[in-house]
Amino acid sequence: MKRPLAVTIIGWLLVVVGASGFVLHLYEGKPQHALEGENPWILATELVAVVGGAFLLRGKSWARWVVMAWMAFHVAISFNSPRQLVIHGAIFVLFAYFLFRPATVRR
């Protein structure tokens, strides 16, 4: 079964966003403080995006659930900003549609 284009786009988007977010958060401010406070948790979420995207590209079915959990987390932390909530909610719905439609799910 050939991987749908939408899954390929989502996979690469997650790899690029996760990797660039990891590098930006790692070197934001002073690099020696990168592993203090909440920064390790932020870096971990960026790595989850990279792992989810990479395994989507490898055709692993479980990666869809990792990606959706990652997006659900972003929706949950967006409740303090209506704009972010709408954006993350819309991305969540789009990801769910493209990752779980019948043409995408392997049986």
Question: Using one digit for the tens of pLDDT, what is the confidence trace for 67-104?
Answer: 999 999 999 999 999 999 999 999 999 999 999 998 77
What single-letter amino acid sits at 87?
I
pTM above 0.85, yes or no: yes
Nearest to 67 by CA among 48, 84, 94, 81: 48
Question: Using one digit for the tens of pLDDT, what is the confidence trace for 20-46?
Answer: 999 888 777 666 666 677 778 888 999
Q: How many CB atoms lie within 10 A of CB 49?
A: 24
What would the two tokens of residue 90 be?
Answer: 């819309």
Eight-class DSSP state of 33: G
Eight-class DSSP state of 90: H
